[in-house]
Structure 1
Amino acid sequence: MTGRLRTLFSKLRWIAERVAAPLRTGDGPNKFRLSSVDTATTTYDGDIGWASRPPATVRCPQCDAEIFQHNARDDLDCPRCVGEFDPEAFGDLELLHLTCPVCRGRMEHGQRHPGSFDIPEWATCTSCRYHWEFEHSYD
């Protein structure tokens, strides 16, 4: 009977270790997400700076097609017409939405200083609570 109890205890311990493994933090940041948007009021993950801006979708001013820009430094090339725009033209184009790099949902975005910048200054995903900030100084 003792052998069976040891085997059972050993299997239960193995199962408990497998369940607890994702909850433990290692050497790096804890990327395990166990949150509900309805109960959470803070963000859990995020980036700062224009180079870390989430992927964006803008409207082509020539044909009204949607142009997807994965990285803030990528050129904007319209998939429908011959419209090509430098990354610096981003502020002149109509921003349709930003895409969350974590869950691929649409992000809420806005400006804190609309008179100073023609680009979004923040974006938050309402699904996974990822948050991005455009960092700047007033010097």
Structure 2
Amino acid sequence: MTKHIGERVAKPLRRGDGPNKFRLSAMDTATTTYDGDDGWAKRPPAVLECPRCGGDILQHHSRDDIDCPHCVAEFSYQKFPELELNHLTCPVCRSEMAHGQRHPEAFDLVEWATCNGCRYHWEFKHSYS
């Protein structure tokens, strides 16, 4: 009986033959995540610390220039790894997100972020080669 119920639940999620039998993405398979994105282009808004005045700089999109609203400091989006990341802001509920790195020896960037409020999750998409 239990096996039959399990099969009925899993059937719409099945993809077919092969080792990856389900079509869920990594974000979908996490039991605590409800919504998510991956890729640097979809990175949540970032709040950076201005190295000149210490104020907060909001960078809405990953390719936006970084301009401090409190002083005259301006940075290209390419300088993001050199600036201090205070936090990422959840694009769904605007809460501060927990964030971190999985491969600090390989990347100078934040690689993941999760909102503890609405469970939105973002992943930096990269190759492991």
Q: Residue 96 of structure 1: SS of its match in structure 2?
A: strand
Partner residue, 2:92: 102
Matches within 5 A, 1:55-66: 55-66=45-56
Provide the identity percentage. Answer: 67
RMSD over aligned Cα, in angstroms? 1.2
Q: Residue 122 of structure 2: SS of its match in structure 1?
A: strand
Matches within 5 A, 1:1-139: 41-139=31-129
TM-superposed CA distance for 1:41, in Å, is 4.8
1:93-121 superposed Cα distances (whole Å, 9 cap, x missing partner)? 00001000000000000000011111100
1:82-102 superposed Cα distances (whole Å, 9 cap, x missing partner)? 110001100100000100000
Count of residue pairs the alignment pairs up: 100
Q: Show structure 2 runs of 5+ residues with no match.
A: 1-29
Q: Show structure 1 runs of 5+ residues with no match.
A: 1-39
Q: Which amino acid aligns with 1:99?
A: T
Question: What TM-score results when the alignment is normalised by the length of structure 1?
Answer: 0.70
Query: CA–CA distance in 2 between the matches of 1:136 and 1:53?
Result: 13
Query: CA–CA distance in 1 between the matches of 2:127 and 2:121?
Result: 19
Q: Residue 41 of structure 2: SS of its match in structure 1?
A: helix
TM-superposed CA distance for 1:81, in Å, is 1.1
Question: What TM-score results when the alignment is normalised by the length of structure 2?
Answer: 0.75
